[in-house]
DNA sequence: CGGAATCTTGAGCGGCTTCAAAACCTGTGG
DNA sequence: CCACAGGTTTTGAAGCCGCTCAAGATTCCG
């Protein structure tokens, strides 16, 4: 919590996101190649629905490049953004199971992206041969669970402004680009609000306030974080 | 959603909850005995903290009898009830992983309970020998994730009364006892509200309203569901 | 230039929470 | 048996955060 936020990502080491994927962690290099070789490599155009919530879990995906939104649509038609998927992230974990439950969220690529795709039966075979895969999947699922629990806790105890601050800073760390001393985050007010469980109007008001205080700058579809330390504490 | 709620549980078949545990699903009977044999069997008195949130994941637990609360304490000291653990439920899943993340919630047995306990190294060995264990754990984790996502969705879109209705009915199905035509649920107003993310006062008011409408009856630490169909729709 | 998103700002309101205080239930111990 | 203390429940009153609705300004793209 005390670490300085905002400094991140694309700055230093250009690690291969696929080789560093948590999903393949602890697996020797040659085995990793074998596993990746069993996948189909596909390029997806932007605005492409990859996974439909509730559908049968037929494929496992590993994002190699690009960006995708992982979201759920509630019964009332409201769209809940669960997570931004970045290179190295896997999705469709349900497909690892023998008699898989349906996908529980939808995934849509936000820009042109590349993915590895495994068929259900194929990934089942692999997970039998290389149990480390299932272990990694379990670790990832528990991580999701933890971040979900934290979000839920924040929603219940923190106020809207606090949640927005946390969400924005996390977004900056995960998906921000450091340009000329500011962290650029590609996100609309509505998407940010959605990630923080705050309505769009309240989100706009808070952002405007921060802009007046010189903590951020706004463009269309983009937020520049100038002084993250002005956000955390109000 | 259209199935009649409230009829459940302790009525008919007295299945062994341990043998039916999702955690041991798909494992042949003799292997199951072997796995259970590797565990320590313990009896825990009520009001006993079993897992401390944030602690190192040193043990895996399987609840054989009794009842336990799975909860989290937020930074502001508010206690969030995540789930009631019933016979057949496992907890401490993080201990299945080689280099485990810390426990992310606390568990406290609500009444005298019996549990199987595995040490970290032991359960790691077992999961290597019997990969089905990890698969089951993954399935359980994904299930938790789904129910968490649903709760979150309800919190954002539904109103307090609706959430309370859903929560109460689900509690009745999971942990209710059918006595003389009513489902008895052992829960205080505060605990119910906590499970539905509603304050205690609002919870009391809604319950009182339902009582006046003849849908439920209230005792101290207990709710009797008389007419569940009067709750779902307002 | 037109049109479609996105963003801004204001006004009003409503559902829940918060605070206060009292009634109630239940097990305990004198 | 009664009194007491602790937790639980009830009810009222007040207030505020964030949502909803309306209407305009701005930016971007074809």
Q: What is the pLDDT of residues B44-74, one digit of tens each?
A: 988 889 999 999 999 999 999 999 999 999 9
Q: What is the pLDDT of residues A105-139, one digit of tens each?
A: 999 999 999 999 999 999 999 999 999 999 999 99
What span, in angstroms and rounded, lies between the C-alpha atoms of B140 and B142?
Answer: 5
Position A3 pLDDT exceeds 50: no
Query: Could you give all domains of chain A from N- to C-terminal order, each with its CATH number?
Result: 22-154 (2.60.120.10), 159-230 (1.10.10.10)
What span, in angstroms and rounded, lies between the C-alpha atoms of B75 and A154?
Answer: 9
The pLDDT of residue A1: 38
Chain B residues near any Cβ of chain A (below 8 Å): 26, 72, 74-76, 78, 80, 82, 93-94, 96-98, 101, 104-105, 127-128, 131, 134-135, 137-139, 141-146, 148-149, 151-158, 197
C-alpha dihedral (A205, A208, A212, A216), degrees to nearest 10: 130
Nucleotide C19's nearest residue (CA vs C1') is B201
Quick one: angle between helices A189-196 and A160-175, nearest 10? 110
What is the average pLDDT across A45-63? 94
Give residue for tokens 């264990």.
B133
What span, in angstroms and rounded, lies between the C-alpha atoms of B214 and A163?
Answer: 40
pLDDT band at A234 (very low <50, low <70, confident <90, very high): low
pLDDT band at B14 (very low <50, low <70, confident <90, very high): low
The pLDDT of residue B146: 95
* Chain D, protein-covered positions (CB within 7 A): 8-13, 17-22, 27-28
Q: Who contacts A130 (Cβ-Cβ below 8 Å, separation ≥6)?
A: A27, A31, A35
Position B8 pLDDT exceeds 90: no
Say yes or no for a CB contact (<8 Å) between B98 and A72.
Answer: no
Position B2 pLDDT exceeds 80: no
The pLDDT of residue B15: 74
Identify the DSSP state of B100: P
pLDDT band at A6 (very low <50, low <70, confident <90, very high): very low
> Which candidate, B22, B66, B60, places its Cα nearest to that of B44?
B66
Structure tokens at A154: 């924040």
> Which candidate, B67, B59, B132, B124, places its Cα nearest to that of B91?
B59
Q: What residues of A are in contact with residue B127 (Cβ under 8 Å)?
A: 131, 135
3-state secondary structure of B124: helix
DSSP string, B169-200: HHHHHHH-EEETTEEEE---HHHHHHHHT--H
Q: How many A×B Cβ pairs under 8 Å? A: 118
Say yes or no for a CB contact (<8 Å) between A156 and B96.
Answer: no
As a whole number, the mean pLDDT across chain B is 91
As a whole number, the mean pLDDT across chain A is 91
The pLDDT of residue A15: 74
The pLDDT of residue A18: 85
Say yes or no for a CB contact (<8 Å) between A139 and B97.
Answer: yes
pLDDT band at B233 (very low <50, low <70, confident <90, very high): low
Q: What is the pLDDT of residues A158-201, one digit of tens each?
A: 999 999 999 999 999 999 999 989 999 999 999 999 999 999 99
What is the spatial distance, in angstroms and rounded to an integer, between the CA atom of A132 and the C1' atom of D28? 48
pTM, entire model: 0.90
């Amino acid at each position: 919590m005390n670490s300085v936020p905002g400094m991140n990502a694309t700055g230093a080491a250009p690690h291969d996101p696929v080789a560093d994927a948590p999903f393949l962690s602890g697996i020797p290099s040659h085995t990793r190649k074998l596993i990746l070789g069993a996948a189909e490599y596909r390029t997806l155009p932007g605005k492409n629905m990859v996974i439909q919530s509730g559908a049968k879990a037929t494929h496992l995906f590993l994002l190699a490049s690009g960006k995708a939104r992982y979201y759920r649509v509630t019964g009332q038609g409201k769209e809940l953004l669960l997570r931004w998927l970045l290179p190295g992230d896997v999705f469709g974990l349900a497909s690892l199971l023998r008699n898989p439950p349906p996908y529980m969220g939808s995934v849509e690529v936000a820009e042109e992206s590349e993915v590895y795709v495994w068929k259900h039966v194929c990934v089942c075979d692999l997970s039998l041969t290389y149990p480390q895969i299932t272990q990694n999947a379990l670790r990832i699922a528990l991580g999701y669970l933890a971040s979900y629990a934290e979000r839920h806790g924040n929603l219940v105890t923190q106020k809207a402004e606090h949640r927005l601050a946390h969400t924005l800073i996390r977004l900056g760390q995960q998906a921000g680009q450091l340009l000329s001393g500011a962290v650029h985050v590609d996100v609309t007010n509505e998407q940010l609000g959605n990630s923080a469980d705050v309505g769009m109007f309240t989100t706009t008001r808070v952002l405007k306030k921060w802009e007046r205080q010189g903590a951020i700058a706004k463009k269309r579809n983009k937020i520049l974080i100038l002084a993250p330390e002005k956000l955390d504490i109000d």
